[in-house]
Amino acid sequence: MPQHAPSLTEARRLVVKIGSALLVDAASGRLRSDWLKALALDVAEAKSRGVDVVLVSSGSIALGRRVLGLPAGALALEQSQAAAAVGQIQLARAYEEALAPHGVTTAQVLVTLEDTEDRRRYLNTRATMETLLALGTVPIVNENDTVATDEIRYGDNDRLAAQVAITVGADQLVLLSDVDGLYTANPQSDPSARRLELVTAITPEIAAMAGDPVSGLSKGGMKTKITAARTATAGGCAMVIAAGDTLHPLLAIAEGGPCTWFAAHGDPQAARKRWIAAMKARGILHIDAGAVAALQAGKSLLPAGVVSVEDRFGRGDAVAIHGPDGALLGQGLVRYTSGEAQAIRGQHTDKIAEILGYPGRSVLIHRDDMVL
């Protein structure tokens, strides 16, 4: 575990969470476009260094309620969901307009927390995000508030951002907040509170420091940020809390401005492999000698190398991989059901669509979803 804080300049894949209060002016309900333009410059600068960037942004309800003329104060759930539906269009367009002048293409991705809990949807989200990033876009992620079944809780986007960071295998997560880090107590109520530079483990003492927000405008407070830190760091992603209200907030962190870093446990790849290895296998794929050599050379498992399929499993389930001698080689998350795997085993990838009657994924188990 590093004893010195990471640097934002080291990030290879960065997720940045932007809260409603940063994007939308509380008094007028309007977009803070100068702030967004400055943030867009920071994002474009990171992209020009080859960093993959994902933005998790709240603000749809705050933007939508003004358009709909809804009153200030708490909204009924269905009003919040209606406001989100209206505001999300504005939110996505605002990012598109801010980033397009820098030659950066944006993509809108709406997810729910359950999407990352259901393994099949998780794998699909991951594959789409991976493709969007490979194509150079900046995905703008928000909760799909109109279909979310739970009460929309402010602060949930902290947790959502951590889930997104894990899903895309990010190595750094930035939570831009109205406070410049984690303090020993809530600085708004305790003037003697001091900011921590680096948290290497989220001990009960650290968790106890996090309180609720003081002002009525505020949302999850520090508690949801600590929950996010737990998820992110366990998944091999370092997290930083910093003040977002300044222009160029990412540049400020990179230049060593005030913030609190939470150190990652290992790297995202290792954390993902631990996660896959710990799953209960639902079935077995027996593969031939050629496929064994391919996997050992770091390749994905293609249907062509599968000799037989045992047991019933669904897409996204963990399955064991056995070699020609029956020895267990490893396990991975499978992209087809057992029935489909049975139908395409031993076949070339270009035959999949003809056999199944629909185009599928080219690999049975992707190398990133496999532990040997």
Ligand X SMILES: Nc1ncnc2c1ncn2[C@@H]1O[C@H](COP(=O)(O)OP(=O)(O)O)[C@@H](O)[C@H]1O
Contacting residues toward ligand X, per CB under 6 A: 19, 21, 155, 177-179, 182-183, 185-188, 209-211, 213-214, 218-222
244 near ligand VHF, rule: CB under 6 A: no
Q: Among residues 59 and 268, whose Cβ is nearest to ligand VHF? A: 59
Minimum gap (Å) between residue 79 Cβ and ligand X: 21
Chain positions 83 to 112 lying near ligand VHF, rule: CB under 6 A, are 84
177 near ligand VHF, rule: CB under 6 A: no
**150 is annotated as contributing to ligand binding:** no
157 near ligand VHF, rule: CB under 6 A: yes
Q: Among residues 147 and 289, whose Cβ is nearest to ligand VHF? A: 147
Q: Which among ligand VHF, ligand X, none contacts residue 179 (Cβ within 5 to 8 A by kind)?
A: ligand X
**Which tokens in the block code for residue 127?**
């594959």
Minimum gap (Å) between residue 114 Cβ and ligand X: 22
Cα distance between residue 173 and residue 253, in whole Å: 12
Q: Which among ligand VHF, ligand X, none contacts residue 156 (Cβ within 5 to 8 A by kind)?
A: ligand VHF
303-to-17, 141, 300, 352 alpha-carbon distances in Å? 39, 33, 10, 9
Q: Among residues 186 and 347, whose Cβ is nearest to ligand X? A: 186
**Which tokens in the block code for residue 125?**
């989200």
Between the two ends of the chain, the Cα-to-Cα distance in Å is 25
The H or E element spanning position 371 is strand 370-371
Q: Is the dihedral of CA 251, 252, 255, 259 positive or negative?
A: negative
The single residue listed with the structure tokens 């708490």 is: 74
155 near ligand VHF, rule: CB under 6 A: yes
Q: How does DSSP assign 241-306, residue by residue?
A: EEE-SSSSHHHHHHTT-SEEEE--SS-HHHHHHHHHHTSPP--EEEE-HHHHHHHHTTPPBPGGGE
61 near ligand VHF, rule: CB under 6 A: yes
Contact with ligand VHF (CB under 6 A): which of 6, 169, 220, 305? Answer: 220
Q: Which among ligand VHF, ligand X, none contacts residue 143 (Cβ within 5 to 8 A by kind)?
A: ligand VHF
Inter-residue contact 262 to 232 (CB < 8 Å): yes
Nearest to 61 by CA among 36, 43, 78: 78
Minimum gap (Å) between residue 52 Cβ and ligand X: 23
Where on the chain is the footprint of ligand VHF (CB under 6 A)? Answer: 19-21, 58-62, 84, 142-143, 145, 152, 154-157, 219-220
